């Protein structure tokens, strides 16, 4: 398909252009016939204006393929993952564009047990079936609403001991995405279990017009609203989510944004304290802090390609207790090896309560030991040529090279990763060092110049 919305491990496109109701119907039909063979399918959607309409077309296709549709309504992606496993469904489909622009939408797909689908494990077959649709089933499926949220809340709260939490105040920013109602269910359950944590809410109600901007807290221009609210409310920590809340982002009590790589290290350390000697999976964009912490804690550090289907496959292969991407995806063995945007903030609150330390104190030494650039994004007409220029300049001097996910080159006291995005037309750069922030700044400038040509 020209300008195909089928990506490496999901579907994303522009609504009514390359992502239409007819295409969603075809995907539903192909998924029912080819992937689940008529088994029941969980379906949910995010807060975008087009999501209910696209979900209706998707459900029609699923039912035409003989699958019952277990409709959980407005929710987060991780609730589809959970419900697929919890309800024993053959698969799960989440209508979402996450943090993409306002006119976009998409689809995240999992099989039985919330196992992810990628191009190699079914997505390519579904794309082919959209061009040559299979016959509809003799017996059509039915659509019925289900509500597994209470069971989901019980699951995420099983990661901590709510009454043991300290009387902290948390500022939460749902970004007018899907997070608000689910968060409220968690907060209510925490209160009923005797947790003393207090919450302050910002941009909490779902609103398809996104009056405060697309919920993507990774963008620097979107961070001041949360940072200022943390300070205004004298909160101990701030948390902000993207549109389908499978990613969460952290701010300390001073309103400082905490780079995701330090959360990966913190959560890996906490996981290994509970499960000594286990495996931790991480992505190749920024690795020095995670590798060091995992080694100190006696765990096994395993690198996997960026992207949820690759991370989950590596975690399943290694039976890893935790996996983390610096882009704020956090995966847990005890959550079907899936990513969650709700479990991480609960675990960080747990660590703050257990240690009596602030979030700033929990990460300060790591920030100093392994400074990072944060991800720099470039829209480049010829991305391969840009990466080739950087490779030609730097590869001869590298002491280690890895090409499993873009170009990763390591030197005596610093490294960088340069890769094409799996979901957007971007080239992404990450630079890090061992205790040398000046080196990070200098190399970002030099590599950026080469990327731009």
Under DSSP, the state recorded for 101 is -
Q: Which residues contact 420 (CB under 8 A, 6 or more apart)?
A: 383, 387, 406, 426, 427, 428
Give residue for tokens 């289900």: 146
Exposed / middle / buried, residue 145 (Cβ in 10 Å: 0-12, 13-18, 19+):
exposed
Residues marked as catalytic: 98
| CA distances to 43, 58, 336 from 11, in Å | 15, 13, 22
What's the token pair of residue 32? 């029912």
State whether residue 238 is helix, strand or coil.
strand
Distances from the Cα of 19 to the Cαs of 16, 23, 172, 282, in angstroms? 6, 6, 32, 32
Strand, helix or coil at 318? Answer: helix
Report helix, strand or coil for 76. Answer: coil
Q: How far apart are CA 277 and CA 448, in angstroms?
A: 39
* Helix axes 260-274 and 359-369, enclosed angle (nearest 10): 110
Q: Is 201 exposed, middle or buried (0-12, 13-18, 19+ CB in 10 A)?
A: middle
CB 287 within 8 A of CB 265: no
What sign does the CA torsion over 290, 295, 300, 302 have?
A: positive
- Per the CB < 8 A criterion, the answer to whether 292 and 377 are in contact is no
Q: Scanning the structure block, which residue is given the tokens 């043991």?
A: 164
β-bridge partners, 257 = 251
Tell me the C-alpha distance between 24 and 130, whole Å: 9
Q: What CA–CA distance (Å, rounded) separates 318 from 401?
A: 23
Distance CA 372, CA 419 (A): 16
């Amino acid at each position: 398909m020209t300008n195909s919305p089928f990506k490496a491990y999901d579907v994303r496109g522009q609504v009514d252009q390359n992502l239409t109701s007819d295409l969603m119907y075809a995907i539903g039909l192909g998924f029912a016939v080819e992937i689940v063979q008529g088994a029941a399918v969980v379906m949910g959607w995010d807060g975008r204006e087009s999501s209910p309409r696209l979900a209706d077309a998707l459900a029609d296709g699923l039912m035409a393929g003989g699958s019952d549709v277990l409709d959980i309504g407005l929710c987060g992606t991780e609730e589809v993952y959970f419900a697929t496993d919890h309800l024993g469904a053959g698969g799960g489909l989440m209508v979402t564009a996450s943090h993409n622009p306002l006119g976009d939408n998409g689809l995240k797909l999992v099989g039985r047990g919330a196992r992810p689908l990628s191009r190699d494990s079914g997505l390519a077959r579904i794309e082919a079936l959209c061009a040559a649709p299979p016959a509809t089933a003799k017996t059509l499926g039915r659509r019925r609403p289900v509500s597994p949220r209470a069971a989901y809340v019980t699951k995420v709260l099983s990661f901590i001991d709510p009454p043991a939490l300290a009387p902290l105040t948390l500022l939460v920013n749902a970004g007018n995405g899907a997070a608000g109602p689910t968060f409220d269910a968690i907060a209510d359950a925490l209160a009923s279990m005797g947790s003393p944590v207090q919450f302050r809410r910002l941009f909490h109600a779902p609103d398809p017009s996104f009056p405060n901007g697309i919920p993507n807290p990774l963008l620097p221009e979107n961070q001041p609203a949360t940072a200022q609210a943390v300070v205004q409310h004298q909160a101990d920590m701030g948390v902000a989510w993207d549109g389908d809340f499978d990613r969460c982002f952290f701010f300390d009590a001073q309103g400082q944004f905490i780079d995701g790589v330090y959360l990966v290290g913190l959560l890996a350390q906490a996981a290994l304290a509970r499960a000594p000697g286990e495996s931790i999976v991480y992505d190749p964009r920024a690795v020095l802090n995670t590798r060091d912490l995992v080694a100190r804690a006696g765990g096994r550090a395993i690198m996997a390609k960026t992207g949820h289907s690759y991370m989950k496959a590596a975690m399943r292969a290694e039976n890893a207790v935790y996996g983390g991407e610096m882009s704020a995806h956090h995966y847990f063995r005890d959550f079907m090896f899936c990513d969650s945007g709700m479990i991480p903030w609960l675990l960080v609150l747990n660590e703050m309560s257990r240690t009596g330390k602030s979030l700033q104190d929990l990460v300060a030494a790591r920030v100093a030991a392994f400074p990072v650039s944060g991800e720099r994004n470039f829209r480049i007409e010829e991305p391969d040529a840009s990466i080739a220029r950087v490779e030609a300049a730097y590869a001869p001097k590298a002491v280690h090279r890895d090409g499993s996910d873009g170009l990763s080159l390591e030197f005596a006291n610093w490294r960088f990763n340069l890769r094409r995005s799996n979901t957007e037309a971007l080239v992404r750069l990450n630079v890090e060092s061992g205790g040398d922030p000046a080196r990070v700044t200098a190399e970002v400038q030099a590599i950026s110049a080469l990327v731009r040509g």
